[in-house]
Every structure is written in structure tokens, then in C-alpha cells.
Chain A
Amino acid sequence: MSAQHDAQHSPSFIGKYIFSQDHKIIGIQFLFVSLAFMVLGGFLAMIVRWQLGFPDKEIPLANVLPTSWNPADPAQYNAVFTMHASIMIFLVIIPILTGAFGNFLIPLMIGARDMAFPKLNMLSFWVGFSGGAVIASSFFVEGGTAATGWTAYPPLSADPQYTGVALGQTLWIVGVLLVGTASIMGAVNYITTIVNMRAPGMHFFRMPLSVWALFITAILQLMATPVLASALGMLLFDRTLGTHFFNPAGGGQVLLWQHLFWFYSHPAVYIMILPSMGFVSDIMSTFARKPIFGYKAMVFSLMGIAGLGFIVWGHHMFQSGMNPTLGTTFMISTMVIAVPSAIKTFNWLGTLWGGAIRFTPAMLHALAFVSTFIIGGLSGIFMASTPVDMFIHDTYFIVAHLHYVLFGGSLFGVFAAINFWYPKMFGRMLNPTVNLVHAVLSFIFFNLTFFPMHILGMGGHMRRIYDPTLYDFLKPMQPMNEFISVNAFILGGVQILFAANFICSLFWGKKAERNPWHANSLEWAAPSPPPHGNWGEKVPTVYRGPFEYSLPGMTEDYMPQDLPGAGAPTPGRTVMTPARS
């Protein structure tokens, strides 16, 4: 373990909170920065929805907003939705899941004192932060920010003449490259830490599912992100050095980008959901007061999703001009990848069965996660079918699907995780009433906002257009667009509850105990918040898996992993692996 670490105590403010090497502080840094970007990304979403719901009404606040945000100008509309998606994906969901929770949870949950490489960890945050700053700076340069969608298909993205955006797009590429680099650094750290630094007795199959999910996510990041990085490098060279990787006139291949991009970005959608699946599993088990149903099936389905995730990227390219026979291959692999998703869903239901469920805000978000993930997973099947996708590709059906998995899935998972681990992070409790209201309203208005988008998509409503009323066949759908927009504004407004609670509780929240939820995993054995080095004198020893809730014959309905002695060695199907020396 990192003994050298304990030596350098009482660092200055800068050393402690700015250039910190403590995994918990770095996690919280990632959390704060990502949440700040979420506000910006959410704001851009409101602008998008205003334009789509009320294309002929000027946006309120038009005179205080920067002119480059006026969506009624079609060029700006493209920029606004491009940055909405880019921010949400690259600067909110990925860093919050892996950067914030990966950092905060991994060492605490496996009983380590810190990450394997604390300096690399610090570097990862600052490289990621610079990436965010570079992307944000693109709003202020001449020509405005990137306007080619988060997918940045060349030639549109490869040559400024097609969009009129010169520097902005280049900054976007550089920023995403930096964020990707940060991701790779983080992944190396997480993998090394999990493999090498588990506390005595913490066998692989005694790890909480959050750790498993973060572990497998890190492997995905390590394998997929370099491919994105090389593709971005090529795009950057096309823009700045005059190479022709993606320019057919110079012998380049337009579709090459899509293959490379989706080779990364399909695994990336799993990078964006697997950690949430892990959090939700642990949270559901805790609040159902039951062992997770089918622990090993949960682990193997995570692995299955991750493995298959590398052979399905072509499902984003069915109509791209790729050989249609290849489309069939990708369709079959995509159908197969829905199976482990189904297994996970059934195991969550199995976990609820026979439980003694506590409806905390974290649990409500976890339930909302399962409920929306079901819809997102099922809508994926429509798009996986090549002929059906010919109709719904690039329509609002896709927008509905991706928000069901990313907002209803990943983000509700994040909300669950924040509600659950906030006491450990900050040593204070969130106000439960406010967050119960927030959870219920978010779930309702989320569905009212995004479910109707399936229907728009079935009507053929294209995505990424700034004024649906220009098409006769879309005009009848305009009332639905207005309905969606109004609900989206309410959904956005509801988030103020959460933000206010988050901020106020930092100062005035009730002091948290060590283990407020009576949970089993190791992080609850550390003080709230845990001190530098996490464990005081001695790291904990692990005696069992994390899911021993409601064990018959015990008075308490939980049994922490580090509680020595009595109580069943994990019975049932939890397999023991030989102890590590």
C-alpha cells in the first residue's frame, strides 16, 4: 500500500484541494466540475427545446444570451445541440461516472488507502479539466463553436468551408482528445488499483458490483479510447495539416471515420451505463435489504456486454453506405447484446422480490433507472432490426432511445449514487424530503418529455433539424413538439431542487454517521468523510461478500464485509476463490 503517502501530512490548501493526490478529493473535483458542466449542458438543452417547440417565437432572454446561442439562426442551432451532446457525454456523464465515482469509490470499496498512482490520478483530473476548458473556450472564438454534431462526421467536420466554423471545431477536437487522454490515465489507475490493492480477504468475487462495473468500464476505456484518439488525430491533421484521411478527393475514405468513431463510441455508450448499473445493483440490494439476485450472473453479464460491445459498432451505420451484408452481421450481434441487458433487468426484479424495501431517494432513482432502462433497451431492438432502422434511423426515435438510456439510465444512476454516497463524501446528509420530491418529479417529467419522442420518430420526424414546421408531413406533429418542450422546461426546473439541496446540505446538512444506510460494503467502515489514507492504523480485513442482508438467525439485518467471526460464510452460489497472499 502507499505508505509513502501517509508521510506527507498536513499539506497546504493548494496541495490539499487543488493539486490533491487524494483519490477522494480528486473524485470530488471531478464531481463539482461535471455538475457545473451539467448546468451548462442542461441550459443548452432548454434552448434546443425552445426552438423546436416554438420555432417562430423569439427565445426569452434573447438579449442577454450571447448571439452565438440564438437557435433561430440555423447555423447556431447546430452549434447549440452539438455542444449540448458533447458536453453531456464527454464532460458530464463519463467524468462523473468514472472520474468522480470511480475515484471516490474504488479505493474505499476494496479497502485500499488510495489509487495505485496518485500523481497520475491528479494529472488525469487536470488534463480532463483542461480538455473541458478548451471545449468551453470554443464558444468564444470567431466563427463560433463546433456545429457538426457530437459525432463530427467528415467531410463536414474536416473542412471549415462546409460549416464556416474554423477554430471552434479544431478546439472541440483538441478538447475531446484531452478528455480522452484523461480517461485513459484514469483507466490505467483503476485497473491497477483493483488488481493489486484489494484489502486482505477481498477476493474478486467479493467485490461490490459497483467495483466490478467500474473495473470493466476501465478496461473498455483503455481499449476503446485510443481508437477515438487516433481518429481525432487524423481529423485534426485533415483540418490543419492538409492530410486527406477522410477526403475522397485526396484518396481518403469518408466511412473510415464512422468505423473508428463507432468502434469507440459504441463501447463508450457502455462506459456511460455500466457504472450506473453497478451503483444501482448495490443500492437496490441495500434498500431491499436482500442479497443481489444472481451476483455472478450480474458480473458475467457485465463482461458479456463489454465483450460484445466491441462487435456491434456497425449498427450505427446500417444506412451509411456500408455493405448491407455487413449490416446483417452487426444486426445479429446487436440482438445478442440485448440478452445480457435482459439478464440484468431480471436480476434486479429478482432482488426486489421478497425484499423489505426502503423508499429512500437513492432507491427511487434506482427503481427509476430500471424502469427507464427497460424502455431504452427495448427501443434498441427496433433500431437493431436493419429494415426497421432504415425508417427510424436519424429520427426522434433515436433521440428517445438515447435519452432513455443516458438520461433515464446513466443520469438517474448518477442521482442514485449521489444520494447514496453524499454522506460519505461530505459527512453530511442531504434533505431526504426534497430529494424524494425531486426523484418523483424527475421520473414523471422525464417520461412526459421523452416518451412522446418515440411517436415523433415513428412519424418520420428527423433529428437535428431546427424547424419542423418547414415540412408538411411534420406540421401535424407540432403540438406534440410543444408538449415535449413544456415538459422539458419543467424537468429542467425540477433539477433546481436537487442543486439547492446539494449545495445547502454541504453547509447545513445533518451530520452523517459512519454507516447511515446500514450497508455492508467497506466504504461504510471508514469515517464520514474518510480521512487521508482512509483507514487509520490498519486496513480492514474482508470476511464475506457485500450482499449479506437479512441473514436468517441474526438480529441485525446486515453484516458488514469487515465484521470478523460469526455468521454464515457466504452461502448459496457465491463461489470462494483462494485467498490472496
Chain B
Amino acid sequence: MHLLPEGVSTYSGRIDLMFYVILAVTGVAFVVTETVLFYFAWRYRHREGVRAHYTHGNSRIEVIWTIVPAVMLVFLGLASRKVWDEIKGHVPPTDQEIVVLASQFDWEVRYKGADGQFETADDVVVHNEMHVPVNAPVKIRLRSKDVIHSFFVPAFRLKQDAVPGLTIDIWVQPTKTGEYEIACAELCGFGHGTMRGVLTVMEPEAYRKWLSEQEAGVVPAEAPAA
């Protein structure tokens, strides 16, 4: 059964698994507690001549129902920590670097260009579209020009706020070619809901071809603003 949309990054499977593990644990808790709630409400409805059972509690059972959820929750916490560390603990070494600059209401996506350097006249700059090769780690340096935005690619399970004043490095390794959507996930002004981009995951050759076409087409006027 798939509740979550198709995931196409190396870590999306790990995140989804964590999601389903939590779903299983909470699902059991949900069914048990709600059943007991409705059953008790019905079973112990007032009937003529039947008095309620007088008790203030039971220490043993209270200890049990404190420890069991505590253990489950710590387990879920530790399991989550492992996945989180894998994603956030490091950025895998890669020469695929892209700078994304968010602004109201635009994603500026910048590639190094022919000279292999950022912030030079031959940078490739596109807007609201992003191209990445499949099966290779990509490092994204995320910045914002004005307010907080959030770079969200549901198919990658990737979300990271772009914060003015900070440069935040994130990474992803796509596993499947195709077109996916980029959305802004943090309220950023009246155009927030329209801050959409298209992300194309390409075969490496197609990607290189696309990049060199862009490089050829770079006009100096598109050079970085100060």
C-alpha cells in the first residue's frame, strides 16, 4: 500500500520506511485505545441499579502503561536519529554543485559554467527550473535574498528553509529520471503559493548536453549581480 507518493532519492526510501514504522506503532496504539474508549463507553453505560466500581487507581498497571510507551518512543527516537544523521550528518563529496537563491517569488538556479567557478561571468543561471543528473550526489547551496523560503521537492522527500543571512548546504542523489515539482513550503508573501519550479532529473549525457547548451548560450548580461 502506498500512502506516500513515489520517492526518487537515495534517502526517500529510508524516510518512508521510518514513516511506515511510526504508522505501524501509532496505528496499533490508535486502534487499541479508540476501541477501548468506545467499548468502555458502551459497556459501562449507566443501567438502573448498577453502581460504578469504586477505585482510585492501580499502581502496577499505571507503571506498565508509563513504561511501555516510553520504551516505544525512545526506540522511535533512536531509529529516527540514525536516518537523520545519514541525511544531515554529512554532504557526500561531489563536484555537482548548484547554488539556489530564493527570492520573492522566484528560484534562481546557478551552475558553475565552463570555468568551474561560481560567481563568474560564465555562470549558467536559470529560473524556476533545475536540471540534475540521475544517480550522482548533488550538493545544493541554499540562500535567500529577502525573506524565508523553503526548498521543497516532495519526490525527494527533501525540504530545507532558505534563510536570509545563512548559506545552507543540502544534498540529494536522485534515483530516477523524470520531471518533478519544486515548491516553496514556507509562507513568503502573496506569491508564496505560486513559487513553483520544475526539476528535471536526466541521464548523465543528456544532462551534460543540456549544460553545455546553456553554457554556450550564456550572455554576459546574465552575470551575477553584485
A484 vs B192: C-alpha distance in the bound complex, in angstroms?
Answer: 22
Q: Which of B40-48, B128-136, B204-212, B217-225 contacts A (4 or more CB under 8 A)?
A: B40-48
A248/B164 contact (C-beta < 8 A), A293-B55, A464-B192, A550-B52 known: yes
A252 vs B58: C-alpha distance in the bound complex, in angstroms?
Answer: 54
10 of the cross-chain contacts (CB-CB < 8 Å) are A248-B164, A290-B55, A292-B56, A319-B159, A331-B81, A358-B46, A385-B22, A385-B77, A467-B193, A472-B181
Q: Which residues in window 74-133 of B have CB below 8 A to A? A: 74, 76-77, 80-81, 83-85, 87-89, 104
Across the interface, name the chain B residue whose C-beta is closest to A318: B84
Q: Is A572 an interface residue (CB 8 A)?
A: yes
Contact of B66 with A385 in the complex, beta carbons under 8 Å: no
Q: Is B10 an interface residue (CB 8 A)?
A: no
Cβ proximity bits A352-374 to B, threshold 8 Å, 1 near / 0 not: 11111111000000010011001
Cβ proximity bits B156-169 to A, threshold 8 Å, 1 near / 0 not: 01111101111010
Q: Using a CB–CB distance below 8 Å, which chain A residues touch chain B?
A: 74-75, 77-78, 147-149, 153-156, 162-164, 248-249, 252-255, 288-295, 297, 319-321, 324, 327-328, 331-332, 335-336, 338-339, 342-343, 345-350, 352-359, 367, 370-371, 374-375, 378-379, 381-382, 384-388, 390-391, 393-395, 455, 458-460, 462, 464-467, 470-473, 547, 549-552, 557, 570-574
Out of A149, A343, A357, A470, name the residue touching B45 (CB < 8 Å).
A357
Out of A289, A319, A342, name the residue touching B52 (CB < 8 Å).
A289
Contact of B5 with A460 in the complex, beta carbons under 8 Å: yes
Contact of B56 with A547 in the complex, beta carbons under 8 Å: yes
List residues of chain A with CB within 8 A of the CB of B15: 387-388, 390-391
CB distance from B182 to the nearest CB of A (A): 10
List residues of chain A with CB within 8 A of the CB of B46: 289, 356-358
A390/B159 contact (C-beta < 8 A), A254-B148, A550-B53 known: yes
Out of A375, A384, A385, A391, name the residue touching B159 (CB < 8 Å).
A391
Q: Using a CB–CB distance below 8 Å, which chain B residues touch chain A?
A: 3-5, 11, 14-15, 18-19, 22-23, 25-26, 29-30, 33-34, 36-38, 40-41, 44-47, 50-59, 61-62, 65-66, 69-70, 73-74, 76-77, 80-81, 83-85, 87-89, 104, 146-148, 150, 152, 154-155, 157-161, 163-166, 168, 180-181, 183-194, 196
A90 vs B147: C-alpha distance in the bound complex, in angstroms?
Answer: 25
A331/B84 contact (C-beta < 8 A), A293-B55, A338-B73 known: yes
A254 vs B76: C-alpha distance in the bound complex, in angstroms?
Answer: 31
Across the interface, name the chain A residue whose C-beta is closest to B38: A371
List residues of chain A with CB within 8 A of the CB of B164: 155, 248-249, 254
Nearest 10 pairs of A and B residues by beta carbon? A248-B165, A354-B53, A460-B154, A572-B56, A465-B193, A324-B88, A75-B190, A294-B57, A352-B40, A385-B80
Contact of B193 with A293 in the complex, beta carbons under 8 Å: no
CB distance from B96 to the nearest CB of A (A): 21
CB distance from A451 to the nearest CB of B (A): 12
